[in-house]
Structure 1
Amino acid sequence: MADQPRAPIDPEHWRARLAVLSERHGVPGAQLGLLRIGADAAADEAVEVAHGVLNAATGHAVDTGSVFQIGSVTKVWTATVVMGLVDEGLLTPDTPVAELLPELRLPDPARRVTVRHLLNHTSGIDGDVFTDTGRGDDALERYVALLADTEPVHPVGAAFSYCNAGYVVLGRIVERLTGLVWDRAVRERLFAPLGMTRACTLPEEALLHGAAVGHVEGLPEPETAPVWGIPRSMGPAGTVLANAGDVLRFAAAHLRRGLGAEGDRVLSEASARAMGDHEVTLPDPHTLGDSWGLGWIRFGWDGRLVLGHDGNTVGQSAFLRLLPDAGFAVVLLTNGGRTRDLYQELYGEVFRELTDVRVPTPLGPDPAPDPGSRPVADEAPVSAVYESTAQRLEILGEGERRTLRVIDRAPLPGVDPDPVEEWPLLPAGGTEGQFVFRPEGRRTWVPVRIHALETGEEYLYLGGRAVPRVRAGNG
């Protein structure tokens, strides 16, 4: 491997850094896990540290056994199970979804969607449908049936758009091919063989451990989330709970190309490699990553490949990064506050000190003025409108004085919709159509990209989602 350990990872140092930086960024509670794999599992070097409280209302302390919601990091776990079924010959990445789920009714031509399209987020299915279909074992089956009422956001395979719904469909495929509900399938095919002692998918399982509560406002005046988690119907897209140690066990299996700690294979080397191979380049490389594989997000840091995934639920955020050529992984689990700022500063230190890799600086405006110097232009006319099931996005004004108006149309069940928000857009990156805005109190900027397909359709990318333009101006 390219990097060799220069010194043991110092748990006290990273415990102190997690504490200082969590307080700086208003994060009530967090876990940090660091891993260097050795020649075999016995030689692995793993460090887990914790800070803060699980719930600001109770003051219960976080320890290394506490479980957090890992959110969309779950998607890589679902992708791993799917690729395991590929190894068994039950499907291929290019199998049409209609062959596996003939009852699925998607608007034509979306019935040409393959498993690959779901894994790499190019299916065109509207991804942010968070319908709660109940707590029963038929939650995924009922959810998938509702997709007949949705319209695609782009033609199949024509664009990238981050898609939660597509991963629920993958979970339903797992159920169909294994005869198990997704929760049990992921337990039997990942949790058990990888020796995970805390990982789970259901609230009643999380109660057996210290479970983190999300906070929609961080320190110094934390506010707990109005609901504990997301619906069971979204399980394959985001309901795994785990501690940092179990996430590191998952990461180690991928760093070893599909081998578990005991040498048991949970994934073939070919499938493990395919999950990280380039599948699609992202139009906006500043929000999620540079490109995507069959489950993993791909990043190019200092000319080296980093794999990872982030996750966000109601007031909880998770960040997982793997540096395969160094056999190194790091995970951060949090329950509120300015988590993106914590990730950026902490991971900058971790990678610099333990791998000599520089974490890229987040995209910022060109030049960087005080955001308060550009008041929102309420009187400016609407120059473009973009719509999906989840959001209506309006651009006010033109040229260098544009404002983004965000209207939340499909909040999570139990969560009140956000008020209409407006943010001044500033040009960034020297790229046409690339902008940023910065919510109050945050250090890092939020990228926005306006991108057109070769066929001319225009999309606004926000949070990795492709939101199609529906009209210009107020007409």
Structure 2
Amino acid sequence: MAENLADPAKLAVTGYSYGGYLTCYLTSRDTRFAAAVAGGVVSDLRSMAGTSDGGRYLTELELGGTGEHIAELSPLTLVDEVRTPTLIYHGASDDRCPAGQAEQWFSALRQNGVPSKLVLYPGESHLFILDGKPSHREDFNRRVVDWVREHAEKRVPLDAKHWQRRLSALAKKHGVPGAALGILRDDEIVQAHHGVLNTATGAEVTDDSMFQIGSISKVWTTTVVMQLVDEGLLDLDAPIIDVLPELKLTDHVAERKVTMRHLLTHTSGIDGDVFTDTGRGDDCLERYTELLADAAQNHPLGATFSYCNSGFALAGRVVEKLTGRTWDAAVRERLFAPLGLTRTGTLPEEALLHRAAVGHITEDGRTEPVSVWALPRSVGPAGTIFATAADVLAFARMHLDGGITRDGTRVLTGAAAKAMTEKQTGLPDPNALADSWGLGWIRFGWDGQRLVGHDGNTIGQSAFLRLLPEQGLAVTLLTNGGHTRELYLDLYREIFAELAGVAMPRPPEPADAPPAVDHARYAGRYERASVRFDITEGEHGLRLKTTVTGSLAGLLPEPPDVDLVPIGDSTFLCRDSEDESWRSVVFYELPTGERYVHAGLRATPKVS
């Protein structure tokens, strides 16, 4: 597949006797195959030991005798993991691999809803494929070809039951109270749901439950911005003050020269985590924009990448000035309505009309509902949209289809939709979430494939969206607490491997012997709005203490102190617990000498 010699969507596996055993074994541990044909099979080595004419010798001489390892080597142990349509053919009088082996495998597959067929050839022994009746040999060869053609030459439908099982199993594993999964592939959609919306009430998650999608809202805001570009009302590279002459920023160069492209690519340098609540009135974004006169300029305009919620609130204010509508009304009229989204909104009072998830935070081993449901309305363009999984997929489908909704309504020009996916800027941290940024979209390089998407985190809720345009695939996961990143990593790795043949990169891990690094030059205090990092030299190297400040203090638990483990001269890894994957932290300088730590996609300047 890596050399483009095989189509990953049309792989088939087949084998007879030992090859039949291996076919069953492979499909119980790998979901890449579109079709399987297993002949003269062995599915359960334990029963094989007492029923085959050579079972005892095989067990003793080849497998080292009976024991727990026999179960581990038996395909039947993991038969619940099989998704591959399977044809099984077997001699009915086979003494070497008794027909019961085939019947066990077939019965288990059918019980799990896996497309399968069993063909027993009467009077035939184990070697009938070589010396059996000509009619039987002709029959099984024809069946092999027909089965592979039927299942490998056409795409197997999405298996809703399988993904429901996997979502529930992995959500339980990672302590996620409630989750909704949506998978779109061309015209197929499957949904799955798990758990409860609120542990205090026990209200169950359903397919029509709504979750906060957090910063995925930024792509929606960008889409509205690009509509204004399509309409000739906005130039991405014109100064924002052309639309907002009243704009005041701490840095006068940024004030005069910051553009919409800077805002959509997180390169404006405006301190990105200003979450000041400016009220529930329709003037909240106007008042928020006025506050930016006092917001710090974290880095010079365009000098580096630093994730910026404030920039998207400012972009939302531009939308308001150009449309004459509030951002909430503009996104509702320009996106929700043409997409036919009836359970998507931006305001808490809209959420009350539907089944809405409540965020949860885990402290001292207990997972409890949060005390505040939503972020302030003033940061709406950056992250207050809530939606069902199906509604998120409707938005994704529109982008996959070049800006056209399912009923043929054009929401965005094809050129604008394409421009949103094209690279605009790289990231200082090569081990971060992604390799680059587009307009609104995050760009991911997985296994030689280009994906776009976005994540979202609010108060106790997390959301994930990935699109693989080349295969018409979109996947969204909406959650309300627990180890959500770990659930995303495990689940998306399975989904993209099985449905697209794409291997998701694994997070980096430290080497057994980390490299020697001059720790002293990185120690100190780094600070921006809403967070302070104190990095000290400890007994085992650098140690990071994170303090949540500003309007978010008290809403989020204080992260634990963590060790920074070097993997390079300026690149480190850390994690909150052994149950979680490693996150990267990078120290770097701008050409003008300013020092930064890049963590959580944000550039935080060194202040002492």
TM-score normalised over the length of structure 1: 0.91
Which runs of no fewer than 5 residues in structure 1 stay unpaired? 38-43, 370-376
Residues 276 and 551 in structure 2, CA contact (< 8 A), matched pair in contact too: no
Please list the CA deviations of residues 275-331 of structure 1 after superposition, one character each: whole Å capped at 9, or x if unmatched. 010000011133331100010000100111010100000100000000011110000
SS at match of 2:289: helix
Question: For 2:513 and 2:448, how far apart are their aligned partners in 1?
Answer: 26
Q: 1:61 matched to which residue of 2?
A: 204
Q: How does 1:5-404 map to 2 (within 5 A)?
A: 6-37=155-186, 44-107=187-250, 108-111=252-255, 112-217=257-362, 221-367=366-512, 383-397=523-537, 401-404=541-544
Amino acid at match of 2:169: V
Question: For 2:326 and 2:238, how far apart are their aligned partners in 1?
Answer: 21
Residues 523 and 542 in structure 2, CA contact (< 8 A), matched pair in contact too: no
Instruction: Tell me the CA shift for residue 412 of structure 1.
Output: 2.3
SS at match of 1:55: coil
Q: Closer, same or farther in 2 for the Cα pair 1:282/1:385, shift >3 Å?
A: same
Question: For 2:538 and 2:297, how far apart are their aligned partners in 1?
Answer: 28
Which runs of no fewer than 5 residues in structure 2 stay unpaired? 1-6, 10-153
Question: For 2:594 and 2:565, how far apart are their aligned partners in 1?
Answer: 23
Question: For 2:213 and 2:248, how far apart are their aligned partners in 1?
Answer: 30
Match for residue 585 of structure 2 among 448, 457, 473: 448
Answer with 216-225 or 382-391: which moved more: 216-225
Question: For 1:7 and 1:165, how far apart are their aligned partners in 2?
Answer: 44
Question: For 2:512 and 2:587, how far apart are their aligned partners in 1?
Answer: 19
Q: 1:412 matched to which residue of 2?
A: 552
As a proportion of its length, which structure holds more helix? 2
Q: Closer, same or farther in 2 for the Cα pair 1:368/1:27, shift >3 Å?
A: farther
Amino acid at match of 2:485: R
Amino acid at match of 1:36: R
Amino acid at match of 2:181: L
SS at match of 1:61: coil
The question of 1:470 aligning with 2:470 is answered no
Amino acid at match of 1:91: L
SS at match of 2:545: strand
Instruction: Tell me the CA shift for residue 443 of structure 1.
Output: 2.0
SS at match of 1:193: helix
Residues 560 and 576 in structure 2, CA contact (< 8 A), matched pair in contact too: no
Question: For 2:380 and 2:430, how far apart are their aligned partners in 1?
Answer: 27
Instruction: Tell me the CA shift for residue 222 of structure 1.
Output: 2.1
Question: For 1:363 and 1:257, how far apart are their aligned partners in 2?
Answer: 34
Answer with 13-22 or 285-294: which moved more: 285-294
SS at match of 1:222: strand
SS at match of 1:47: strand
Amino acid at match of 2:584: P
Please list the CA deviations of residues 120-141 of structure 1 after superposition, one character each: whole Å capped at 9, or x if unmatched. 0000000000000111111111
Question: For 1:463 and 1:344, how far apart are their aligned partners in 2?
Answer: 17
Instruction: Tell me the CA shift for residue 436 of structure 1.
Output: 1.1
Instruction: Tell me the CA shift for residue 219 of structure 1.
Output: 11
SS at match of 2:407: coil
Instruction: Tell me the CA shift for residue 457 of structure 1.
Output: 1.8
Q: 1:40 matched to which residue of 2?
A: none
Answer with 356-365 or 384-393: which moved more: 384-393
Please list the CA deviations of residues 430-463 of structure 1 after superposition, one character each: whole Å capped at 9, or x if unmatched. x331111111253211211112222222210111
Instruction: Tell me the CA shift for residue 3 of structure 1.
Output: 7.3
Residues 463 and 479 in structure 2, CA contact (< 8 A), matched pair in contact too: yes
Q: 1:374 matched to which residue of 2?
A: none
Residues 543 and 562 in structure 2, CA contact (< 8 A), matched pair in contact too: yes
SS at match of 1:212: coil
Q: Closer, same or farther in 2 for the Cα pair 1:399/1:470, shift >3 Å?
A: farther
Answer with 441-450 or 133-142: which moved more: 441-450
Question: For 1:219 and 1:301, how far apart are their aligned partners in 2?
Answer: 36
The question of 1:426 aligning with 2:570 is answered no
Instruction: Tell me the CA shift for residue 403 of structure 1.
Output: 0.7
Which of 1 and 2 has higher RCO (CA within 8 Å, sep 6+)?
A: 1
* Identity across the alignment (%): 55
SS at match of 1:424: strand
Please list the CA deviations of residues 104-131 of structure 1 after superposition, one character each: whole Å capped at 9, or x if unmatched. 1012111110000000000000000000
Q: Closer, same or farther in 2 for the Cα pair 1:187/1:3, shift >3 Å?
A: farther
SS at match of 1:8: coil
Please list the CA deviations of residues 12-57 of structure 1 after superposition, one character each: whole Å capped at 9, or x if unmatched. 00001000000000000000000012xxxxxx10111111000000
TM-score normalised over the length of structure 2: 0.72
Please list the CA deviations of residues 145-192 of structure 1 after superposition, one character each: whole Å capped at 9, or x if unmatched. 100011200000111000000000010001000001001100111011
Question: For 1:406 and 1:400, how far apart are their aligned partners in 2?
Answer: 18
Q: Closer, same or farther in 2 for the Cα pair 1:219/1:420, shift >3 Å?
A: closer
Instruction: Tell me the CA shift for residue 425 of structure 1.
Output: 0.5
Question: For 1:7 and 1:410, how far apart are their aligned partners in 2?
Answer: 51
Q: Closer, same or farther in 2 for the Cα pair 1:418/1:28, shift >3 Å?
A: closer
Residues 26 and 220 in structure 1, CA contact (< 8 A), matched pair in contact too: no
Answer with 415-424 or 264-273: which moved more: 415-424
SS at match of 2:312: helix
Residues 132 and 233 in structure 1, CA contact (< 8 A), matched pair in contact too: yes
Instruction: Tell me the CA shift for residue 383 of structure 1.
Output: 2.7
Give the count of matched residue pairs. 452
